[in-house]
Structure 1
């Protein structure tokens, strides 16, 4: 996962993008799934909401970067 739900830290979009790029160096981008670490019950909604918004934005940026016809930089 790109979001450690056991930490109160809310990862930035840039932090998540970097983790996704690292994963894409070893796993083909078409086989990657972006998701939080297992479950969200240990966090408050005030922590979960911004973290999930950041995750969605990070995934959007990576999809755009890895889209066919673009020069993806894993």
Structure 2
């Protein structure tokens, strides 16, 4: 069964192995705890807060219609 699974994963488009020439570091480049890199984004969000709130209200107005859409 293990051999069959490995063949399936080898041929399947869902399961693909990525071979890299270097080791990957999975730590984020900036984190909210450090605040690095987020100052500019926070400033933009604060400037646009009223516009964003208006757009969210517009979207929420159509909640029932959006839920009625079938996938």
Same fold (TM over 0.5): no
TM-score under structure 2 length normalisation: 0.29
TM-score under structure 1 length normalisation: 0.28
Question: Whose helix proportion is higher, 1 or 2?
Answer: 2
Larger Rg belongs to? 2
